[in-house]
Structure 1
Amino acid sequence: MIQEIMKYDISRYLKTLELDKILEMLSEQASLEDSHETARNLMPDTDFDSVKAKLQETGDAYSFMSRYSAPSFGAAKNVSSSLRRAQASAVLSIKELLDIAETLRIIRGVKAWRNDCAGMAQTSLDGLFGALVPNKYIEDKINFAIKSEEELNDNASPALYDIRRKLTAKSGKIRESLERIVRGPTAKYLQEAIITQRDGRFVVPLKAEYKGQLNGIVHDTSATGSTIFIEPMAVVETNNEIRVLKAREQEEIERILSELSAEAGGFADSIIYSYNALLKLDIIFAKAKLAYKMKASMPQINENGCTYLKRARHPLISYKTVVPVTVELGKSYDTLVITGPNTGGKTVTLKTIGLLTVMTMCGLMIPVDDGSHIAVFSKVFADIGDEQSIEQSLSTFSSHMVNIISITELADENSLVLFDELCAGTDPVEGAALAKAILMRLSNSGAKTVATTHYPELKSYAIDTDRVENASCEFDVNTLKPTYRLIIGMPGRSNAFAISRRLGLSDDIIKTAENEVSDEDRRFEKVVESLENARREAEEEHKKAQSLRFKLDEAKKKADLREAELEKSREKLMEKTRESADRIIENARNKSALLLNELEEMKKQLNADNAAKLAEKARAAYKSTINELEKTADPVTKKSVSGEAVTKLTKGDIVLIADINRDATVVDIKQSDKKALVMSGSMKMWVDFENLRLKNKSSASTEFKKTRRVTGLVSRGQRTVAGEVDLRGMASDEAIMELDKYIDNAVLSGITTVTVIHGKGTGTLRKAVQAHLRSHKNIAAFRTGTFGEGENGVTIAEIKE
């Protein structure tokens, strides 16, 4: 019997690791009927390059799905057998031809889907997409000819169309004849007033007792004998013609199906090749769909036997309840000995390592965090669960040992070996010795081994031996429940005394038991206990540090966000200030230009010397005003603003922010830093003392306003402007510019009412003028001219006082 299992057979170990359940889940994600069976029979690949290629395909499908969802594989059928028969001149059925057309439609759709994913660069799947060869010619020809699985379209051929047209006419003729019988005097002899068929011929149901009342051919009798189905002689000839047409129809249908079959058979190789590519794509996208369902990620693979699973989750345990484990193997150590209480998670951890390894070798993504690594092994062994064999009369221990013998003989440096409760079920002393010897043998062979055990001797072996490490599944003595956390580097404690004491066992019994334990074992347990306490303290400190780091990060994020918001508000305020100042400058330029034009006119009328002096003075005033306004227009440049110098402030002081020329209230003060927190409107900001001025009511801006007002009054008394402006013949934009100049002159001259001549025409210029006047700051009201004023050709406007 041992000789029979010396041959390596991975399938028996895959069942132990429950890969079949994962493959059943994969099958459920596939669309095609053939894909379901292919998924269930998937096997781990031991070739590194092949595994790498499969994972790349799965990863590319996952990327496609994250951006474009998955293509639809519909209900494509494996039409290979039908096509091979057609290739051998067989005539296919209507259903077989429809299956071929539907498969071609899906092939065309998947091909088009890839072409629509323009955002995806070249991928490992492009070869399979490229193998899809649509055949719209065959697809359309079949769909044009066939109406359903039972019937061809009338237009499938001209001959079929002509035959069916004649059949329709003949059937109609017969029905007319029979309707006369059914509705005529002979109706009283009928069982029912209906027309039916027997053997493809039209008949009527006649009461048996009136058989001689209607001349015709009897084709059938009812089960009771009370009704006979008779074909009246009046329709016999037409029925015969219909039968001939039906035979011709069937011949034409056979000819059409033969022609379609021959055409499809001519493309058999191409269609089968495309279908096989479609099948592979369906499996690959099923893997990607399963990855989404499992919340899986892509592991890095290697050939050096190193495995690092970061927060690995067993895929068959609910995502909400599973406790992730982090485990490493093959880097610092090749053998991992896991100890801990029963039902503490040891077996789940063991199966997780094995299952995720073989899943990766199948090209599947696995439920781990990013940064995980998986080694591609040539052999995977697992001795897990109750191996008792009733048929072979072997005990649990014997069954396990048969399996272990096979593993020790076949395992090598490219093997992963998993033992659950190694050498349990026998004398503890001998079992521990055997377990230790087996681990030593596997370590010498270079195999990567994970074993769970209760033997304390194996804990000591792991402590004393290079490249062997302890691990334990944590148990909470306070709650008497396992936490399912895997602790690497820490041997598990039995906790038997602590659990018994907590459950209420007498202290006398516990003390007696403790005295039975050797001094060496007690010292060992003390060391483990102290290590455990130190680990817990370190974890608590780590948690506190992480919590503090998180709080600091959150505070920094909030501060950065606040700073960004303040900067954004500041920039927005500056932009508004610039725009406002630009408008002021532009208005001043326009008005000053008008003033200079007037002075030029005055120069011609007045004494040349006096006029020249006056013009020069006006130019100087204009230049000074524009320079001052240009400084105001740049809120980034700091202005020289009058006011008391700031050396000390108190909360509530009203200040001027120099660089943006904006009033603000002092909210807080940092005297040592020479900074003040000020609020301007809804915005708060810290500002240096040197950029603040105590508010002074007699500011330069106030003086400037007074000067402008006086100058305006003087101008009004010195200028004369006509009471009307003629805009006829001008474009709307040109007319509006001319109108603005005229209104400015009118304001300076003190005119209260002006007439704007725009003409009647199409009314376009009138509408533009009146729309502009409606929003003009210097216009109080306006109206269309009345009779004698120019009516619709003019607009009368009133200037604001």
Structure 2
Amino acid sequence: MIETRALKTLEFDKIREQVARFCSNSIGKAALDELVPETNFDTVVELLEEMDEGLAILRVKANVPMGGIFDVRPHARRAQIGGMLSPMELMEIASTIRASRILRNFIEDIETEGAIDIPHFIERKEQMPVLTALQHEINACIDENGAVLDSASTTLRSIRQSLRSEEAKVRQKLESLTRGSNATKMLSDAIITIRNDRFVIPVKQEYRSHYGGIVHDQSASGQTLFIEPDAVVQANNEVQRLKVKEKAEIDRILAELTAKVQEVGHDLFVLVQLLGEVDVVLAKGKYGQANKCTKPKMNNEGYTRLVRARHPLLAMEEAVPNTIEFGRDVTAIVITGPNTGGKTVTLKTVGLCTLMAQSGLPVPALDGSELAVFEQIFADIGDEQSIEQSLSTFSSHMVNIVDILSKFDDKSLILFDELGAGTDPQEGAALAISILDEVVGYGARIMATTHYPELKAYGYNRPSVVNASVEFDVETLSPTYRLLIGVPGRSNAFEISKRLGLNATVIDRAKSFTGTDRHEVESMIASLEESRRRSEREADEAHVLLEEAKTLREQLDERLRTYDDKKENLEKKAKDKARKIVDNAKAEAEKIIAELREMKKNAADLVKDHELIDVKKRLDEAAPKENKVLQKAVANRERVQNLQPGDEVKVLSYGQKGTLLKKAAGNEWVVQIGILKMKLPEADLQYIKPEKEQVTRTMTNVKNRTSHVKLELDLRGERYEDALIRTEKYLDDALLANYPRVSIIHGKGTGALRQGIQSYLKGNKRVKSYRYGEAAEGGFGVTVVEFK
């Protein structure tokens, strides 16, 4: 357990007060008053995880239902020892049970949604006793204002009905008296009031005997008497009797409810305890939200790293953030420099943040901070001079230091403020060095401040110690409160004196008294400070460049993603289009094959050769055709990439034809254009096929014009001369198409066209034979021609 002295010295009680302001009820506030740092690593980690769950709930839900909760433990304890609870106490118990039910439902809803992981809250929810039955019984008897309801029992309802009836009778009788003919004269006021729980009227002193009855009170002047007239005494007696019965029945009801509370007294203690713990956890989270705190990572190795940490008791806009790291290779930080520079604030920042983390509280630092769990934290900070003990400042500090040295170990964090102060400077500095060596030797983690110049070189002689200082702005003559790790503090007395107008001669004379070593040390520190400033500037510039690079990379990544998406979409469209073409081709092919099968099945012997050829042609045409433009482009590209000397080319940039002479350096050619010779890039040249190759290609195209020649020629309706011309041209085309036979349709008619055609065929040397068509081919209306 952390010593109370350290908690008091570091003002941890003020932290508890700040967190307690965020509690929803007195139970949480009372629990926070007892909050102390834990020293078990697993416990600390669990406390921080639970606090982080509370923060997550507040971020997602903004608010947690914690209203209507009372500390009912005293009520339960009184019920357990046989006391009877009042209606208000019972109402508070019912309200607390109802609040616990609402909170359980709230946690169950979050668990069902699954948006955030809250195992610790779920565990507490499952530990909460379910006392809904008791809540309903209390609510059935007592309203929210603490009054016992008529419905609490049939007896109570009956008594109250009778009571209201009797009171109405008394009022009726008294109202008749106040409205009488003499009422204005005899009564001080025409009203009905109550004295000693009995209905009375205010009668003037001189008319007392007129009404008779009982005097219950009189005014301060004695001129008015509050009299219960004889006419209502009996009725008032009945009212009192019914009130006694009412009280007895209420007491019986309260006794029954108290007995039921007694039965679940232990469960109420557990419930209140759990509700208080939940309130504390949520208060920690709310405190973290309000003060921009974060959950630190914890370790059990004595390592501390606070990223831009602020003093938790200073206003956020006033506190200067500092990054502090030590505990591994470096186990001690010695902060040197003049007073009022912020050294003590730095010590308290480290101490308080450690205490807060070990108490399950978030710390006022940025994400990435890490703190150690210490078994003991010692702090010797401030002037604790004891007048009663007649101790000087030095003695008071030394009493604390002696106590610390007798208790610390390697699991301790020790904070020394102005170590060795209050005595002779040389002796104090030597004592401070010896104390630091003692503590560092045992492996404890230390932060110490001192204004002794002798300790400025302390960190350079010991590998586990580092010097530090708090920056001082000579221009403004004020500290900046920025911690400079690795740079010892230096005296600014000469600079400050110069800024304030002290004569330069006096300053120079003072410098001559300080000695050479002092000058060398001050020069070294000044060099270190300049190096630090330069490093900070370079780091800032590098950070800006890094951010720009990150932004550029994000933009490039976004463009690449857009390009990939477009490419993927285009590929998908192309694949879909190709698939559609193939599917159409397959469907056409299947249709043709089905026709062939049908023809084979029904009339295989009657199928004409030209019909089979035509079907085969349709089948070939059903296959997907390659883009002719693309074929041409690919052929040209391949030809350009294989240019040879002597090839004819077109120069694209000039629009002129030329001849390739030879390949030049790189990807260039020497081209003869008319009388000019020029070096041109290959990309600017387009290959031109020679005339011979073009003629050959034309002939090839003529010989292969199968797509333009049909297997039959229809001459029906033609004049004889025109029919002969068409027949001659058709036979030439059919021969070029390599058809073995063709059909000429001339019709039957008069037979003149048939005879003329057959006469022409008989004299044609390329015709092997001809015949009439069979029945399936058209009979005498068709002549089938076979070529040689």
Q: TM above 0.5, one fold? A: yes
Equivalence for 2:64: 71
Which SS does the other structure have where 2:360 is aligned? coil
**Cα distance in 2 between the residues matched to 1:214 and 1:538:** 104
1:168 aligns with 2:161: no
Identity %, equivalent residues: 42
* 1:26 matched to 2:22: no
Q: Distance in 1 between matches of 2:399 and 2:578?
A: 95
Partners of 1:52 and 1:301 within 8 A in 2: yes
Amino acid at match of 1:105: R
User: Which aligned pairs between 1:108-127 and structure 2 lie closer than 5 A?
Assistant: 108-118=101-111, 119=114, 120-121=116-117, 123-127=119-123
Match of residue 521, structure 1, among 518, 521, 533: 518
1:29 Cα deviation after fit:
1.7
Q: Counterpart in 1 of 2:758?
A: none
Residues in 2 aligned to 1:174 and 1:17: alpha-carbon distance in whole angstroms: 71
Picking from 393, 400, 404, the partner of 1:403 is: 400
Residue 154 (structure 1) aligns with: 150
CA offsets 1:612-645 (integer angstroms, 9 cap, x no match): x99x9999999989979xx99xxxxx98499999
Q: Does 1:304 align with 2:301?
A: yes
Equivalent position of 1:362 in the other structure: 359
Aligned in 2, Cα 1:623/1:75: closer, same or farther, shift over 3 Å? farther
Q: CA deviation at 1:391?
A: 2.2
What SS class does the counterpart of residue 532 from structure 2 fall into? helix
Counterpart of 1:60? Answer: 53
* Match of residue 536, structure 2, among 535, 539, 548: 539
Cα–Cα, structure 1 residues 650 and 94, in superposed 2: closer, same or farther, change >3 Å? farther
Tell me the residue number matched to 1:104: 97
Work out the number of aligned pairs and report it. Answer: 639
Q: Distance in 2 between matches of 1:623 and 1:145?
A: 97
Other-structure match for 2:82: 89
- CA distance in structure 1 between the partners assigned to 2:324 and 2:263 by the alignment: 57
* Partners of 1:525 and 1:208 in 2: CA distance: 101
Q: Which moved more, 1:257-266 or 1:107-116?
A: 107-116
Q: How has the CA–CA distance of structure 1 residues 152 and 386 changed in structure 2, closer, same or farther, with 3 Å as cutoff?
A: same
Separation (CA, whole Å) in 2 of partners of 1:180 and 1:623: 123
For the 8 Å contact 1:341–1:475, the answer to whether it is kept is: no
Give the Å deviation of 1:471. Answer: 1.4
Which is further off, 238-247 or 258-267?
Answer: 238-247
Once residues 256 and 412 of structure 1 are traced to their aligned partners in structure 2, the CA distance between those partners, rounded to angstroms, is: 63
The CA distance in 2 between the partners of 1:75 and 1:415, in whole Å, is: 43
Distance (whole Å) between structure 1 residues aligned to residue 582 and residue 214 of structure 2: 113
Instruction: Provide the secondary structure at the position in 2 that maps to 1:316.
Output: coil
Distance 1:182 1:641, change over 3 A: farther
Aligned position for 1:136: 132
Letter in 2 for 1:137: A
The offset of 1:164, in angstroms, is 0.9
The answer on whether the counterparts of 1:70 and 1:285 sit within 8 Å (CA) in structure 2 is no
| Residues 334 and 465 in structure 2, CA contact (< 8 A), matched pair in contact too | yes
| Residues in 2 aligned to 1:581 and 1:147: alpha-carbon distance in whole angstroms | 80
1:577-612 deviation per Cα after TM superposition (whole angstroms, max 9, x unaligned): 9999999999xxxxxxxxxxxxxxxxxxxxxx9xxx
Compute the TM-score of the two structures, normalised by the length of structure 1. Answer: 0.70
Indicate conservation of the 8 Å contact 1:335/1:469, yes or no: yes
1:486 Cα deviation after fit:
1.9
CA distance in 2, matches of 1:69, 1:565: 38
Match of 2:6 among 7, 13, 20: 13
CA 1:300/1:156 → structure 2, altered by over 3 Å: closer, same or farther?
same
Q: Deviations over 1:636-691 (max 9, x none)?
A: xx98499999999999xxxxxxxxxxxxxxxxxxxx9xxxxxxxxxxxxxxxx99x
Gaps of 5+ in 1: 1-7, 587-608, 633-637, 652-671, 673-688, 691-801
- Per-residue CA deviation, residues 672-727 of structure 1 (Å, 9 max, x unaligned), is 9xxxxxxxxxxxxxxxx99xxxxxxxxxxxxxxxxxxxxxxxxxxxxxxxxxxxxx
- Contact preservation (8 Å) 2:53, 2:117: no
- Kept in 2, the 8 Å contact 1:132–1:275? The answer is no
Name the CA shift for 1:252/1:482 in 2 (closer, same or farther; >3 Å): same
Are 1:384 and 2:381 matched, yes or no?
A: yes
Greater shift, 113-122 or 426-435, is seen at 113-122
Residues in 2 aligned to 1:621 and 1:318: alpha-carbon distance in whole angstroms? 90
CA distance in 2, matches of 1:14, 1:473: 25
Q: TM-score, normalised by structure 2?
A: 0.71
Which amino acid in the other structure matches residue 168 of structure 2?
G
SS class of match (2:21): helix
C-alpha distance in 2, partners of 1:623/1:200? 119
SS at the partner of 2:120?
A: coil
Task: Say which SS state the counterpart of residue 437 (structure 1) adopts.
Answer: helix
Q: Determine helix, strand or coil for the equivalent of 1:380.
A: strand
* Pair 1:289–1:505, CA change in 2 (3 A): same
Give per-residue Cα distances to partners, 1:539-579, cap 9 Å, x unaligned.
Answer: 32222222122222222323433555566678889999999
The answer to which of 563-572 and 316-325 deviates more is 563-572
User: Does the Cα contact within 8 Å between 2:31 and 2:276 map onto a contact in 1?
Assistant: no
The answer on whether the counterparts of 1:345 and 1:473 sit within 8 Å (CA) in structure 2 is yes
Contact kept, 8 Å, 1:23 with 1:40, in 2: the verdict is: yes
Distance 1:197 1:498, change over 3 A: closer
* Residues 620 and 45 of structure 1, relative CA distance in 2, 3 Å threshold: same
User: Contact conserved, 2:414 with 2:447, CA < 8 A, in 1?
Assistant: yes
1:117 partner SS: helix
> Could you tell me whether the CA contact under 8 Å between 1:301 and 1:373 is conserved in 2?
yes
SS across alignment from 2:102: helix
Quote the Cα distance in structure 1 between the aligned partners of 2:69 and 2:484: 50
- Counterpart for residue 478 of structure 2: 481
Match of 1:511 among 503, 508, 512: 508
Distance 1:552 1:177, change over 3 A: same
Distance 2:251 2:275 in 1: 31
Give 1:30 deviation, angstroms. 1.9
Distance 2:234 2:356 in 1: 74
Shift of 1:9: 7.7
Q: Distance in 2 between matches of 1:89 and 1:324?
A: 58
User: Which moved further from structure 2: 220-229 or 575-584?
Assistant: 575-584
How far does residue 431 in structure 1 lie from its aligned partner after superposition? 1.4
Rate the CA distance shift 1:202–1:574 in 2: closer, same or farther, 3 A: farther
Q: Partners of 2:41 and 2:7 in 1: how far apart?
A: 19
User: SS of the residue aligned with 2:335?
Assistant: strand
Secondary structure at the aligned position of 1:89 is classed as: coil
Name the CA distance, whole Å, in 1 between partners of 2:225 and 2:504: 102
1:16-37 alpha-carbon deviations (Å, 9 max, x no partner)? 2121111111211222213223
Contact 1:155–1:161 (Cα < 8 Å) also in 2: yes
Offset from partner CA, 1:446-479 (integer Å, 9 cap, x none): 2221111122221222211231211122223344
* Corresponding position of 2:558: 561
The secondary structure found in structure 1 opposite 2:406 is: helix
- When residues 72 and 442 of structure 1 are mapped into structure 2, their CA distance, relative to the original with a 3 A threshold, is same
Please say if residues 31 and 75 of structure 1, whose CA atoms lie closer than 8 Å, have aligned partners that are also in contact.
no
Over 3 Å counting, the alpha-carbon distance change for 1:505 and 1:160 in structure 2 is: same
What's the C-alpha RMSD, in Å, of the aligned pairs? 4.3
Given the superposition, is the C-alpha separation of residues 36 and 393 from structure 1 closer, same or farther in structure 2, using an over 3 Å criterion? same
Equivalent AA in structure 2 for residue 388 of structure 1? Q
Aligned residue in 1 for 2:73: 80
Superposed, which structure 2 residues align to 1:175-574 within 5 Å? Answer: 175-189=171-185, 190-214=187-211, 216-564=213-561
Counterparts of 1:221 and 1:312, CA distance in 2: 73
* 1:138–1:264 CA contact under 8 A, matched in 2: yes
Letter in 1 for 2:534: E
Q: Do the aligned partners of residues 619 and 297 (structure 1) sit closer, same or farther apart at CA in structure 2, a change above 3 Å counting?
A: farther
Report the CA distance between 1:217 and its aligned residue. Answer: 4.5
Q: Using a 3 Å threshold, how does the CA distance of structure 1 residues 326 and 639 change in structure 2: closer, same or farther? A: farther
Hey, what does 2:660 align to over in structure 1? none
Q: 1:17 to 1:643 in 2, by over 3 A?
A: same
User: Is this contact kept in 1: 2:44–2:359, CA < 8 A?
Assistant: yes
- Residues in 2 aligned to 1:300 and 1:407: alpha-carbon distance in whole angstroms: 28
Is the 8 Å Cα contact of residues 76 and 102 (structure 1) preserved in structure 2?
Answer: yes
